[in-house]
Structure 1
Amino acid sequence: MGPILLTLVLHSAIPALLAHAPLRVLGIEGQPVFLKVNVPPDFLVRDALWRFLTPAEELVAISFKGTAQNVYQSRFYGRSRLHTNFSLEISPAALGDSGIFSALLVNTTGEIEKQIFHLEVYDVVSTPTIHVFGEESNPNRKSGSCEFFLACAASRGTNVTYSWAGPGGETLAGENHSALENGQVLRAKLDLSEKMASNYTCTVTNAVSAKSVSIEVQEQCQRQSGVKVTAYDYRDILLIVVPLACFLLSAAVILHAKCRSGKQISYVVAANEPFPA
């Protein structure tokens, strides 16, 4: 069975392959990622075929009678390597590599072993910054209280989530704290008559990284309770913070692209441990 015929035969098995639950693999942009097949005991692999199925189907690599062939002009050309244990390495991984991969193995008796992988490639998050905004004058606010907004933003990171913690890492709850804009903005109220810590921590996370930053709001509260300060309402915060976050993220992406085009990246294993070739 030649490589072309092998491709056609294994291609017909792909619809059934997609019915299986994929194995999730996480990767970091710019670093190598490994898709490691599990060869059953006593399954003597003769041929292997790797395909990228989504969003567009592409042939990545073939091993025919023990000889690897990585000559296919796919998006992975020059970045893919088929190891002797029939596992696939993508180096360096890119955000656009996220999708479904299939590995089809044929043994010496013609039996087929099918495995699928869901690769998710992420950009690591950067250390966020926090901006403090005093709340607009509120006639219903009790004397001796301090009300403000904290807006947290990270300039890098894909599929990020935001969370907040109070002094000592305590969970924020009750009517004095409420999260807005999917957790990116925290509205808080402190009782200045109580002697308590007033530092807050914003944590930005995604599937491969997490970064935190803390801020002390005691000075802001002292200013708010004493002299007149510039105040913002919730709409002002959205007009300032959201465009600022978008600008920082766009600038980081452009700078990152220029840096990658001008120098070779050093690779570190991101998902599975490497295995000998």
Structure 2
Amino acid sequence: MIRCVAFAVLVLAVVITVGEKTTDVEVQGTRGGSIQLAPMIPEGFNTRDVYWRHMAMGEHLVASVSRGYPETTYQSRFLGRAHLHRGFTLEIRDLEVEDTGVFTCMLVSLEGQMLSMKYHVIVYEAVVQPTVQVFVSGGPKECSVFLRCNSSMGNNVSYTWRATTRQGDPVNTSYTLYNEGRLLITTLRPENSGASYTCIVANPVSHENVTVVPWESCVSLSEAAAPATMQVFVSGGPNECSVFLRCNSMTGNNVSYTWSANTRQGNPVNTSYSLYDEGRLLTATIRPEHMEASYTCTVANHVSQQNITVVPWESCLSLSGKPPKTQSYQQILCMASAIALAFVSLMICVLLLVKTSGLRSCSVQLANLDLVFQKTEPFTV
């Protein structure tokens, strides 16, 4: 009852006091932490009474002390968390977000002069490391990217983004933000494969970030290419053969087709060929000197690679059913021997003609030469 009367008298004194002064201060705190609110008492001010109040959802007396009353009185929701230090500094421990509001300190001097101070206290909850959800559509050649960033804790949180990449690679920094910066939308192409996007969440008392490389999700859109198959079509003959090779993969998207021509070391290879149907069809002309040439078709996309190799000369041979006519070393040697023998026999015949009895001997030599030619295999040039 006495305290109530004293408070009523104080209010009356405040109304009639001429030298009232008010000071505003802004204070930031972190949930679970503590703050100290220190009144700025001018020199020569003889404090008689101190009243700390919290102005949120009504007015609540937090702590008070009056000369003549040795104990400090603590009330309201801050009971057990408030403590008044020397110099009338108020400490609030175990801060809660709901503690946000205006704290006032009212000091009354022995002469009846009053000082009023306001402390605008904002209690922030510290942010935690955010998470980024990655959504993509399209394909690896042109990929639409949607990045959604969120922090599960924290108040008064701001969202900002930063685009970086490996040194020397271009980076796509053209993007659009929505939902107060939480959502980023951009388009990526293969030249942006090294681009990374960092989401930064922050408030006045904390900040965290997380980085993602969205191109990895774009690549996952590709279906692996199935093993390639090869169809071989030939026309012409074994001496000059037109070859058509058709390569195909039954599954896989964004597949590219490439070819390579190879042969055993030392043999020529026909690397002159034409490609059609986005590389699926190869056409070339090969001859006997290219009989060992092989052609390899490689099908690939960003997640897989397959290849198949054929030797088309084998199909060219099937056009005639037998290899082209070629002369063996033994056949050539045999024919050369027969020609040499014929020349020797002819020379003997000429010598015998010189003599009278040479005509008959010449006939015998020519008969023997005819027998040799009959035993020699035909020679095809």
TM-score under structure 1 normalisation?
A: 0.68
Letter in 1 for 2:145: F
Choose which of 78, 102, 105 in structure 2 pairs with 1:103: 105
1:3–1:64 CA contact under 8 A, matched in 2: no
Q: Please state whether the residue corresponding to 1:121 is helix, strand or coil.
A: strand
- Residue equivalent to 1:86: 88
Please point out which of 175, 178, 196 is paired with 1:177.
175
1:71 Cα offset (Å): 3.7
The list of structure 1 runs, each at least 4 consecutive aligned residues, that deviate by more than 4 angstroms after superposition, is 9-14
Mapping 1:118-137, distance limit 5 Å: 118-135=120-137, 137=138
The 1:110–1:11 alpha-carbon spacing in structure 2 relative to 1, beyond 3 Å, is closer
Give yes or no for contact 1:61–1:68 (8 Å, CA) kept in 2: no
Letter in 2 for 1:184: R
Q: Cα RMSD between the aligned structures? A: 2.8
1:204 aligns with 2:201: yes
Contact 1:7 1:49 in 2 (8 A): no
1:199-255: CA deviation from partner (whole Å, max 9, x where unpaired) = 11111111211111111223123234x3399xxxxxxxxxxxxxxxxxxxxxxxxxx
1:180-199 equivalences in 2 (<5 Å)? 180-192=178-190, 194=191, 197-199=194-196
Q: Give 1:89 shift.
A: 0.7
Amino acid at match of 1:146: C
Identity of aligned residues (%): 31
> Would the aligned equivalents of 2:74 and 2:82 in 1 still touch at CA under 8 Å?
no
Distance in 2, Cα, partners of 1:120 & 1:36: 16
Structure number with greater CO (CA < 8 Å, separation at least 6) is: 1
SS of equivalent to 1:214: strand
Label 1:102 to 1:9 Cα distance change in 2 as closer, same or farther (>3 A).
farther
Q: Distance in 1 between matches of 2:110 and 2:193?
A: 72
Residue 47 of structure 1 is matched in structure 2 by 49
Question: Which structure has greater strand proportion?
Answer: 2
Could you list the runs of 5+ residues in structure 1 that have no partner in the other structure? Answer: 230-277
Give the equivalent residue in structure 1 for 2:40: 38
Q: Which residue of 2 aligns with 1:164?
A: 161
Cα distance change on mapping 1:95 and 1:114 into 2, 3 Å: same
The number of residues matched between the two structures is 212
Equivalents in 2 of 1:20, 1:191: separation in Å?
Answer: 61
Q: TM-score normalised to the size of structure 2?
A: 0.51
1:7 aligns to what?
Answer: 7
Q: 1:27 to 1:195 in 2, by over 3 A?
A: closer
Matched, 1:26 2:22: no
**1:69 maps onto 2:72 in alignment:** yes
Quote the offset at 1:29 in angstroms: 1.3
Distance 1:88 1:45 in 2: 15
Structure 2 unmatched ranges of 5 or more: 16-20, 166-170, 225-251, 253-381
Q: More displaced, 122-131 or 144-153? A: 144-153
**Matches of 2:104 and 2:88, distance apart in 1:** 12
Q: Matched residues in 1 for 2:146 and 2:47: separation?
A: 61
Give the one of 52, 59, 62 matched to 1:60.
Answer: 62
Please state how far the C-alpha of 1:146 moved relative to its aligned partner.
2.2
Residue type of the alignment partner of 2:111: T
